[in-house]
Amino acid sequence: MNEPESLQQAGQILDGNLFLIGFMGAGKSTVAQALSALYGMEVIEMDGEIERRAGRSISDIFSTLGEEAFRQMETELITTLEPGKRLVVSCGGGTAMREVNVQAMRRSGSIVWLTATPETILARVADSGSRPLLEGHKDLAYIQTMLRQRQPKYEAAADIAVATDGKDAAQICGDILAALKARRQGREQEG
Ligand code: S3P
């Protein structure tokens, strides 16, 4: 297990924006709040920000305006974030599916893919009523299929991947910092 870094060490590693991507229930919001509490990073919760701007809930946006309108709102938000502010951005589960979004993330920071098994995801989303894509589909087979479809895009977008199963938020933060540090050291060695 990786110990959380000191604030100073963390500051050197977390020098740009950090984008948390991954499937619904991967822990993006929880980990964003933990990174904020541990390292003083400002959090942008994409779904929350979209709800605030649209003046309605995500479920409402999906049912009244449709998924495509929601995807446009996501792209509008992610492509207009201020660069270099040391933000931790908790993305929606579908944000990394659009290449334009991935390019915007890549330009302004590091992309962290939080992974979880379908079983973990199912347990975490079981009581959620705010995920329109899973309404009526909260079963392992559906989640497995959707995860399999999305996996290549998450993988291609990610700078690092961190597994979240069976870990608490502080452990996951420690693992993220350790992986970012290892990645940076690897790149420095490459010259
Ligand atoms: C979505 C995930 C949701 C939200 C919307 C669509 C997706 O966010 O953006 O319901 O396409 O996976 P969370 O991953 O935070 O649940």
Cβ of 4 less than 6 Å from ligand 1: no
Spatial distance between the Cα atoms of 38 and 43, rounded to a whole number of angstroms: 12
Q: Which of 11-25, 47-61, 150-164, 171-185 has the lowest mean pLDDT?
A: 11-25
Nearest CA to ligand 1 atom 11: 94
Cβ of 98 less than 6 Å from ligand 1: no
Best CA proximity match to 109, nearest among 11, 27, 18: 18
DSSP category for residue 132:
G
Cβ of 131 less than 6 Å from ligand 1: yes
Cβ of 45 less than 6 Å from ligand 1: no
**Mean pLDDT for the chain?**
94
Residue 43 three-state SS: strand
Cα of 93 to ligand 1 centre, how many Å? 4
Residue 128 three-state SS: coil
Spatial distance between the Cα atoms of 46 and 48, rounded to a whole number of angstroms: 5
Nearest CA to ligand 1 atom 2: 93
Q: Taking each helix axis from N to C terminus, what angle separates 67-78 and 46-54, rounded to the nearest 10 degrees?
A: 110
In the chain, % helix, strand, coil (3-state, to 5) comes to 60, 15, 30
The answer to whether the beta carbons of residues 12 and 178 sit under 8 Å apart is: no
pLDDT at residue number 65: 97
Pocket test for ligand 1, best of 71, 133, 146 (most atoms within 8 A of CB): 133
The answer to whether the beta carbons of residues 95 and 21 sit under 8 Å apart is: yes
Best CA proximity match to 41, nearest among 182, 173, 144: 173
Q: Which of 34-43, 75-84, 107-116, 143-152 has the lowest mean pLDDT?
A: 75-84
The predicted model gives 104-127 an average pLDDT of 96
* Confidence check: pLDDT of 90 > 90: yes
Which tens digits make up the pLDDT trace of 63-73? 999 999 999 99
Which tens digits make up the pLDDT trace of 12-43? 888 789 999 999 999 999 999 999 999 999 99
Percent of the chain residues past pLDDT 70, beyond the cut: 97
Nearest CA to ligand 1 atom 4: 92
Q: Which of 36-40, 79-83, 91-95, 138-142 has the lowest mean pLDDT?
A: 79-83
Vertex 78: Cα angle to 119 and 156 (nearest 5): 50
The answer to whether the beta carbons of residues 89 and 81 sit under 8 Å apart is: yes
Cβ of 58 less than 6 Å from ligand 1: yes
Cβ of 93 less than 6 Å from ligand 1: yes
Best CA proximity match to 74, nearest among 89, 95, 53, 56: 95
* Confidence check: pLDDT of 79 > 90: yes
